[in-house]
Amino acid sequence: MSNPNLKENKLKRFFGVMLRKPIKAISPTLYVKLQYRYITHHKLHLSPPVRYTEKLQYLRLFVYPKWKEVSSCAGRATVRSYVAEKGYGDALIPCLGVYDSFQDIPWEEMPPRFVLKCTHASGWNLLVRDKSKVDRKEEEKRFASWLHRDYGKETMERHYSPIKPQIIAEEWIGDPDHLPVEYKIHVYNGKAKNLYVVTGRGEDIRYTELTIEWESFDG
């Protein structure tokens, strides 16, 4: 006997994929509202935004696309200059190089383990745990596709669109089998207010919002 819930979920996914592009083209705000409702199960209020996550969506739609410094800080390569100028260059993961294409990477000169990231996107990465086992032809195709796509337009995060599409190579940090836990500290008017903790990167990834006192935080 067929499962009606399964059919309903498949139908929702089908229409979600079919309608995504036209909704983005007609109304970015409507797209973000639908996306927010789907992810958080809350209605998105923008006039004015109240919840922390609502304020992020307001910035995403109306502020960040016009703010050049935000684009510079979103770029995986350009942010390094910004951080160094502020006196925190020693906190950066060592960079192995920045390349215009996958073919430009000097593979034989690279260390056994490293990470490749597209500079103009989030999540378009390759974790090279053992370079001798990488299918370079396949990865070349994948990165060529990524470098020709406008991540900002696809995700309605327009501050990514001005960033030059390149590939940055960074040293592998942590042990060979697991990536370290990430701690993102959110600062408001110079004061740390909450934490965004990412565990299981590259495996079973999980995201947790905490207050600065390490208590659960519902944004």
144-157 pLDDT per residue, tens: 999 999 999 999 99
Query: Is the Cβ–Cβ distance between 137 and 87 less than 8 Å?
Result: no
- pTM score: 0.85
Which residues in the chain show pLDDT less than 50? 1-8, 11, 15
- Here the tokens at position 53 are 């996550």
73-116 pLDDT per residue, tens: 999 999 999 999 999 999 999 999 999 999 999 999 999 999 99
Query: CA nearest 210: which of 182, 170, 180, 189?
Result: 182
Domain residue limits, the chain: 4-66, 91-171, 182-211
Query: Is the Cβ–Cβ distance between 103 and 95 less than 8 Å?
Result: no
Q: How far is CA 19 from CA 13, 16, 22, 30, 155, in A?
A: 10, 5, 6, 12, 14
